[in-house]
Amino acid sequence: MFDSFVAIVPAFCVTLGGIAAMTAEAFREPGERVPIGGLAVLSLIASGLASALLWGRNASSFGVVSADNFGLFINLVLVVIGLLTVIFSSAVLERDGIPAGEYYALTLFAIGGMMLMASAVDLLIIFLGLEILSLAVYVLTGIRRDSIQSTEAAFKYFLLGAFSSAFFLYGIAFAYGLVGSTRLEPIGVAVSGQGAANNPLAQFAVGLLLVGFAFKVSAVPFHMWTPDAYEGAPAVVAGFMSAGVKAAAFGAFARVFLSAFGSISADWTPILWLLAALTMIVGTVVGVAQTNLKRLLAYSSIAHAGYLMVALVAGNDIGKGALLFYLLVYAVTNVAAFGVIALLGTRDRANDDLKDCAGLWLRQPALAGLLTVFLLSLGGFPPTAGFIAKWYIFSAAVGAGYTGLAIIGVLTSVVSVFFYLRIVVMMYMVEQTPDPISPWTPQPLAIAALAVSVIVIFYLGLLPSRLLDLAAASIGTIY
């Protein structure tokens, strides 16, 4: 009987941690300090250990959740995202007046939904995971109830998210009408049958599911919620959204389109090619005009979604492995970059504008140096991991015959260097404003997390082969 539940143990661990955090907050006396962040860390570590112990077993729960190596790799990426988010959050929650129990519970519930979404092999379970993570992230976006901007961002995100969920659910309905099942394996068998490619139900299912996934990964033209949501949310929440939601969504995206609908890839690949090109171009070009750091990184996130979609378009072994490698690299880099922005802020002033970075090197050299590494990795400078990740993505596209898409990716990546280096120039070469950022109290745990992130970025930039081999082997277990 226990074997039937083994595959959901990683998600169960973080969900149990969320319940524990919520209970601790409910029974906490006013003014009493409870180490709720520690509960979150323990649950994430337990989830990571469970994922590691399940590696290679290909366990399944009731045929709807699969603990294959592909899903477990995504789980481990989500554990890394969760740990970094909790560490950076511990430094800013009390400062910003955010209730810790509520915040950590929502974060853990969101991660549980992400893990469920990435491991599910049934469209309805994918939808369930999608809604669990979405509802938690909507609330996290507007968790600063005294901020009109946060409330507005959460409301916009909620309305557009509900709209996209409807598209996704209709896509599931058409897939069920085609096969009589929502499980991916029967759908894949039916779609690969002769004549299924020309079946209107299959085409409607693919189109509607594509819209649902495109919204979650911030692909153009379904990206309009992203800059507003990132700007309105606390910086740590924006970093969590940018990495966590993307990892879960691309995990399910790859599982559904490369497996269930892989046999009719000729139908959806041209559409995905166009979406990837538009996403890279719009994310980069509009990002150049941004002066708010969170909006700038939001458009950077949009552009990176385009790069990840290039791997899906390629669909070959290199592209599949590069997809997982890129998700991990992007997660570490982006969460850490948002973590620096969060640490720079105060309760009364976010310090998230470009001009706030002027002369940062003179006042806070440690944060300036760390942020520089993260920006260079996002821009794809060698010898950072960001360079290797992009190299393999574009190599996969060229190998699959999509040279034009690879050229667009390289050109947009070059253009994106402008707005990353503009921040670096402000930190090192521009005098500070008359009203500079207030002196920052060092947070040892946060600095340690940032330092570890830098080590990971350079290690994967110089010695990526072991993780790339692991990612390539993991994608082979996907159904």
| 356: amino acid identity, one letter | D
pLDDT in tens, the chain (479 residues): 556 788 899 999 999 999 999 888 887 777 667 778 889 999 999 999 999 999 988 888 878 898 889 999 999 999 999 999 999 998 788 888 888 889 999 999 999 999 999 999 999 999 999 999 999 999 999 998 888 888 899 998 998 888 889 999 999 999 998 888 899 988 888 887 755 667 788 889 999 999 999 999 999 999 888 999 999 999 999 999 999 999 999 999 999 998 888 888 888 999 999 999 999 999 999 999 898 999 999 999 999 999 999 999 998 888 888 999 999 999 999 999 999 998 887 777 777 788 888 888 888 888 899 999 999 999 999 999 999 999 999 999 999 999 999 999 999 999 999 989 999 999 998 877 666 555 556 678 888 999 999 999 999 999 998 998 888 888 766 65
What is the pLDDT, as a whole number, of residue 188?
87
**Angstrom distance (rounded) from CA 382 to CA 386:** 8
Through-space distance between the first and last CA atoms of the chain, rounded to whole angstroms: 24
What is the pLDDT, as a whole number, of residue 323?
92
Element containing residue 383 per DSSP (H, E): none
Nearest to 40 by CA among 108, 111, 137, 135: 108
Domain residue ranges in the chain: 2-475
Nearest to 239 by CA among 381, 113, 352, 73: 352
**Hey, is 261 helix, strand or coil?**
coil
Write the burial class of residue 272 (CB in 10 Å: 0-12 exposed, 13-18 middle, 19+ buried): buried
**Angstrom distance (rounded) from CA 244 to CA 118:** 11
Alpha-helix runs per DSSP H in 350-443: 360-363, 365-379, 385-399, 403-429
| 335: amino acid identity, one letter | V
Distances in whole angstroms, Cα of residue 277 to Cα of each of 270, 290, 376, 403, 444: 11, 21, 22, 12, 41
Contacts of 281 (CB under 8 A, 6+ apart): 220, 306, 408, 412
The phi, psi pair for 290, rounded to 5°, reads -85, 145
| 381: amino acid identity, one letter | F
| 301: amino acid identity, one letter | S
Tokens of 443: 């947070």
**Hey, is 312 helix, strand or coil?**
helix
What is the pLDDT, as a whole number, of residue 413?
94
CA atoms within 13 A on the CB side of 117: 28
pTM over 0.85: yes
**Angstrom distance (rounded) from CA 257 to CA 264:** 9
Complete DSSP assignment for 419-431: HHHHHHHHHHHSP
Question: Quick check: 386 and 378 in contact, CB under 8 A?
Answer: yes
**Angstrom distance (rounded) from CA 11 to CA 46:** 10
